[in-house]
Amino acid sequence: MKKKIIFLVVTFYFTLSVNAQCAMCRAVLESGEDQSAAEGINDGIMFLMAVPYILVGAIGYIIYRKFNKPNKSKKLDENL
């Protein structure tokens, strides 16, 4: 349990300072006066980056549930 808490704290610390923009996009967007465009691009990149992780997590969860599902036929046999 202690390892999980330490892992979560370290992960949270590193996600606070993450910037998703590449160096070229950042240079172009910071040179302009309008910072809302830079924030919008950054949010879009973060969204596109999160989708594959969500899909992999969902597939992993489905596989986990499939292999760890208790067999109903065994429960019925035990009750008879």
Judged against a pLDDT cut of 70, whether residue 9 lies above it is answered with: yes
Q: Which two tokens stand for residue 69?
A: 């599902």
Mean pLDDT across the chain, nearest whole number? 76
Q: Quote the pLDDT of residue 71.
A: 67
Q: Where are the domains of the chain?
A: 2-79
Q: Any idea which of 5-14, 54-63, 69-78 has the lowest mean pLDDT? A: 69-78
Distance CA 76, CA 59 (A): 29
Asked whether 61 and 40 are in contact (CB, 8 A), the reply is no
Rounded to an integer, the average pLDDT of 22-32 is 71
